[in-house]
Structure formats: structure tokens, C-alpha cells
Chains A and B, each alone.
Chain A
Amino acid sequence: MTLEPMRAAASAVLEGGPGEGEYNFAYLDEQTKRMIRRAILKAIAIPGYQVPFASRDMPMPYGWGTGGIQVTAAILGPDDRLKVIDQGADDTTNAVSIRAFFARTAGVETTTRTHEASVIQTRHRIPELALGADQVLVYQVPIPEPLRFLEPRETETRVMHALADYGLMHVKLYEDIATHGHIAKTYDYPVKVEGRYVMDPSPTPKFDNPKMDNCAGLQLFGAGREKRIYAIPPFTSVKSLDFEDYPFEPNKFDAPCALCGATDTYLDEVITDDRGGRMFVCSDTDHCEDRQASGHRGHLHVDGPAARGTVA
């Protein structure tokens, strides 16, 4: 790892000052932000390790991204430009709501353009465009523990991580192959970070897993209800668990995007009628619109005003 991205990462973490109005800048008080920043720094220092933090009750329900919101609140500075996506799209209701929250409490500029954003908060997707060294991706995480559905007890799983005892996970993946002929995990697909900690990538489809590996941007993960923060520093090795004879395979699609014709993106299936009609379109709306703007055409592309709802 070179020093420059680390500096950029550290400065992204340490920025942020008091704001004006009825609530403090970005809602949380400075003491709370400091506590969260400390947890983030520790998480960056131990890639893939889940750092417990004193998660606060936020004005959104648990499960709506309170962990990601707290991480974003702690790293946001007045000069940041924020993008929020849910299921890859900027215009899903929860993404709209979170973006509005920070526009109101922090007054920061928001954007839907991936390359313009300095902080991107996401639920369930990684943007198709590769992250730059000056960007931070904040994931909303429901269950941070990759071993949770194999062992429900936190007391046990912490010991398993401490001992790097991941036999149970390998047995689970092996059993999948024995039963189904392949690993039956399509999202939440476990990864090993820098050869040490097995980590839950949050419920992103395994299609996105390769983007985490050796990524130039800083990746932060916040789980509010479970009170955990973890991180992948820039240019860190992130390997999806697999076997030599059964290598990891990302999800594949048979059809290209119906709007922009892309064949290398993650697609949403949209049901178009009640007789089995369906179309596949990019889940990353910004990427899809960008491609259409630069002349790429899928077979259902309509010229004129954008077919999708755009964000004001």
C-alpha cells in the first residue's frame, strides 16, 4: 500500500467540523463523531475486523441504514459531495430520504453522479464505475458477522475470528457443493480481507465482490443495530472464499441491459406485464444514464426525455 491513498483516507476520516442550525453539523454531536472516527481509524488499521462502537439511536429506524448514516455523519465535511444509492439507484425512496437528511442537517452538496461524489453511501450495491483514491464508499450493513447464520452467538464468533477459525464456513461452502454442485450463495458472499479476517461484504450481490479487491477508494462499513464498524483500506486484498477446483464465479446475466446495451453490469429484472414479459436493465442508474448519454443503445431504448424518473 502506498502512502498517498492512506493520507487521503485519513484526511477523509478526520475532516468535519461544527455546523449551524438547530442540530449540529450532520446531526451527531462532535463527541459522538469523535467516538465513531476512532472506531473507523481502528477499523482501517485492522482491515476486515469488526470494531464495536457505541451506536446511537438515529431518527431513522434500525434496518434503514443507521450504521451507514452514522459513519457518513462522522466523516462528512462541509466541502464533501454526497451520493446515496439503494439497490444501485439514486431515486429509490430510502436513498432519497437519506440524501435529504444530510442535505438538511449538513447542508452538503449532493449528486447522483458517481464520479462527482467524494462520499457515496450505499445499500446492496457497489457502483459500476471504479472508485477513485479520493472517494469513500460507505456501506449500510444489517448483519456484520459473516459467521452469524452458522453460529448465532457473538461470544463464539468473536473467538472464532480471534483464532482465525473459519473451518465452519469452509464446511458450509463444501456442503453447498456436495448438495447442489455449486456454492449456493448469491449475495452476502463471504470474503477474506488481506489474508486474515473473513468479512461480510453486506448484502451486495457477489457480482460486486471483485470490485472490493485492490480498490483505490476507502470502503467503510457501518452496522448500527449490531454496533459494529469495519473497513477495507485502499488497495487491500479482498478474496471471495472458494476452492481450487470450484473457483468463485460472479453472477452472470444472459441478456444485455435493455436500455444501454451493457453486458458487464448488474441487472434488475423488471416485470412488464402479467404474461411473463420482463426486461433487464442496469441496477446502477447513473452508470446506465451515462452510457445512454454517450450513445450506447439497448434494444428498448427510447430517445427523448429520460425514461427513468430523475432526482431533483
Chain B
Amino acid sequence: MYVAVKGGEKAIAAAHRLLAHERRGDLGVAELAPEQVREQLSLGCDRVMNEGSLYDRDLAALAIKQSRGDLIEAAFLVRAFRTTLPRFGYSLPIDTAAMEIRRRISATFKDLPGGQVLGPTFDYTHRLIDFALAAGVELAVPTEAEVAADAGVAPRVTDLLAHDDLVEPDGEGDLDAAPGDITRDPIRFPVGRDIRLQSLARGDEGYLLALGYSTQRGYGSSHPFAGEIRLGEVEVEFVPEELGFAVSLGDITVTECQMINKFAGSAKVPPRFTRGYGLGFGHVERKAMAMALVDRALRASDLGEEIVAPAQDEEFVLMHADNIQATGFVEHLKLPHYVDFQAELGLVRQMRAEFEQTRAAIAADLKEAAE
């Protein structure tokens, strides 16, 4: 009579086996190696490292393979793995001025110390599907000049401009104060810029892109210029307690964006250019730029600007930036809700009965009045 409508252990195990087959696809096609993902889908790995909040390219590549290319799912795998890692301490701040530069451009100055370095970019490619790639192509060897030339240590644009106070200097934060840590303390509003930038750094790229875009279309206009975007390797140093001096842990690749924004001044601050900041693991220009736009928009209350747009609303932006949380809560609607639904069904039935009663009563009244 009553067939069990509820699932069980067997169904779950069977679903997992089926999923593994779906992941593998046609057995006649060679299996993908994580190293291939790491080397040839490197920008996907970079996104997963950012949203997964863990710098581990091999792990990101494996997660992409396991998640069948679903990058949010891959970031989720990385995040869950991250939870199990012991915390030794915090590294020293990285110095992006000392970056080994591979790409560095400024949209505000034609030339500047250290030069413009185009580097590996899609920017001036024509977006034509390259059918030759399907067959595999022989690579032209990059020339010496293209790789070396002006590359090397270059001062950051914002440091070059800081002298005359037309562009605001680096933040006046206390360098000795320990920054907050969103992975160790729940966010409480209003937050400092440390917490904001941490939240944005692991925030969803698409979400930040849309919010950043909205500021360009008049929702909290901030008149941005790309002061500088740089990509390259920086050294990460750590001071083990037992040694008492810094040791190098190795290099990581980061993308940094310094956005410069026109600012007419307010009661608090004189007219000058203000800044928004973006930083991410790997080569993530879109993310870093969007992050810088949103960071600047969220500085509204510091700068005495009126808060009128979604991108300026700290609680709104930061509470919804984490795509692991967002995807979980949206997708949890798939879980059974029949207990709640039953309660609502009962209420709607009751309200319907009351509605019919009222309507019948009104109809009776009208009939009586007509007679």
C-alpha cells in the first residue's frame, strides 16, 4: 500500500556511482589528467583558488576534474578541504612593489618608471574561434625581448603619485594592529577595510563583476580609471616563533589592481583622486578590477558620500558575496520541505474555506437585498 517515498542509503550510493560515470564521460576519449587542467585550464584553477581561498594549483586542478568543470563546485571542494588544514600562523604582508612583473599596465599614464608590460593577455586578440586549436598547434617561441625588456621591479603607480596629495595615499591603518580574519571570526557590521577586502577576495567573480558594472552605470557612480594592473610573482615570508626571523615559503602569483576614482570632495575630505583596491591569487584581472570598483563603492561612508546604490551597501554586498554560501542556500531548496509545506497547505485550505464562506455570505446578502 504505502511505498516508501523517502530515499535511502542505497539510492545515495547508486547516485554516486552514476555520477562517477557521468564525470568520466565517453570511455573512448582519453581521461583528463589533473596536470593538464593545471597547465591548460590555468585561469579556471586561478578562479577556484580565489573562491576556494587556498593557494594550491594542483588541488584546484584536481577539484576541477572532480567537479566536471563546475568551478563553484570545485571551489567548494577546496574550501571544505581547507577547513581541515592546521593553522600555523600568518605570513608577513606580501610586497607587491617588489613583484617579479609579467604584466603591468596603467591606463592613466602613457609611460611610467618600470614601463608598460603587456604580458599574456586576451585584450587585443580578436575573439575568433581558432579552429586550428582543435587539431593541436605548434607554438611559436616567445622572443627574448617580449619576455624580458622592461620587466622587473617597478614602483607602484600609486606610490609615484602620492607626493602631491592629488591621489590619496595608502590607508592610514595601524601597521602593528593584527588584521581581522573572516575565517576565524564571524563578520560584524560595520566592518573595517581588512574584513571587506578579505570578503571580496573570496567573493564570487560574477557577483563582483555585476556590482562593479553597476557602479559604472550610475548606481553609485565612482568615475574609475585603471591606475595600474600588475601580474607577477611575489615572495611569501613567514616568521616561525622558534626562529624569530622571516623565512621564505616560496612565490605565489597574484594580480593587483589599483583603481583611481575622481572624487569631488565632501565635508570630510578635500577634492582629490581616491582609490579602490583589488588583489587575487593567480591571473585574475576581471576579478581584481571588479573587486577594486566594489571596494571603492563601499568606501562611501568613510568618504562622507551618500549611500544610494546597492554596491555601496556594505551589509548587502558582503553578506551575499560568498558563492559557496549562496549556492548552498539556493540549492538547499531541493531538500525535502514537506513538513513545512504540509503546514502551509493546511493554512491555505483553511483560508480558502474562509474565503468561500465569506463569498457565499456576501452572495446571500446580495440576493436578499435584491429580493
| Chain A interface residues toward B at CB < 8 A | 23-24, 27-29, 31-32, 52-59, 61-64, 66, 86-89, 91-94, 96-97, 100, 123-125, 142, 153-155, 180-182, 184, 186-188, 203-207, 225, 227-228, 251-253, 258-259, 266-270, 279, 281, 283, 300, 302, 307-309, 311-312
State which residues 170-225 of B face A: CB under 8 Å: 183-190
B333: chain A residues at CB < 8 Å are 63
B120: chain A residues at CB < 8 Å are none
Residue pair B328, A63 in contact (C-beta under 8 Å): yes
Main secondary structure of the interface of A (DSSP, over half): loop
Question: Given A61-B331, A93-B7, A308-B4, does the pair A266, B315 have CB atoms closer than 8 Å?
Answer: no
A63: chain B residues at CB < 8 Å are 328-333, 335
A24: chain B residues at CB < 8 Å are 84
Residue pair B1, A302 in contact (C-beta under 8 Å): yes
Residue pair A62, B324 in contact (C-beta under 8 Å): yes
Residue pair A300, B1 in contact (C-beta under 8 Å): yes
Contact with A along B314-349 (1 / 0, CB 8 A): 010001000011011111110111111011111100
A15 to B5, CA, bound (A): 37
Q: Indicate if B2 sits at the interface (CB-CB under 8 A).
A: yes
Question: Given A56-B83, A225-B325, does the pair A270, B5 have CB atoms closer than 8 Å?
Answer: yes
Minimum Cβ distance to chain B for residue A138 (Å) = 17
Please give me the 7 A-B residue pairs with the lowest Cβ-Cβ distance, nearest first: A63-B332, A62-B328, A309-B4, A186-B343, A61-B328, A93-B7, A227-B186
Question: How many cross-chain pairs have Cβ atoms below 8 Å apart between A and B?
Answer: 166
Residue pair A96, B2 in contact (C-beta under 8 Å): no
A229 to B109, CA, bound (A): 52
A27: chain B residues at CB < 8 Å are 84
Contact of A311 among B9, B80, B82 (CB under 8 A): B9
Extra pairs beyond A61-B76, A300-B2, A311-B9 (19, CB < 8 Å): A27-B84, A29-B84, A57-B79, A57-B80, A57-B82, A61-B332, A63-B333, A66-B328, A87-B6, A87-B339, A92-B7, A93-B6, A93-B12, A93-B336, A266-B339, A267-B342, A281-B2, A283-B342, A307-B1
State which residues 66-80 of B face A: CB under 8 Å: 76, 79-80
B93: chain A residues at CB < 8 Å are none
Contact of A142 among B4, B188, B324, B332 (CB under 8 A): B332
A308: chain B residues at CB < 8 Å are 2, 4, 6
A123 to B83, CA, bound (A): 24
Residue pair A186, B346 in contact (C-beta under 8 Å): yes
- Please give me the residue from chain A that is nearest to B80 by CB atom: A59
B335: chain A residues at CB < 8 Å are 63-64, 86, 94, 123
| Chain B interface residues toward A at CB < 8 A | 1-2, 4-9, 11-12, 76, 79-80, 82-84, 86-87, 183-190, 315, 319, 324-325, 327-333, 335-340, 342-347, 350-351, 354
A64: chain B residues at CB < 8 Å are 328, 332, 335
Residue pair B2, A205 in contact (C-beta under 8 Å): no
Q: Could you list 15 A-B pairs, sorted by A, with CB under 8 Å?
A: A29-B86, A52-B185, A55-B186, A62-B332, A88-B339, A93-B11, A154-B189, A154-B315, A180-B351, A205-B339, A206-B343, A207-B343, A227-B186, A302-B2, A307-B1
A186 to B347, CA, bound (A): 7
B11: chain A residues at CB < 8 Å are 93
B339: chain A residues at CB < 8 Å are 87-88, 124-125, 187, 203-205, 266, 268, 283
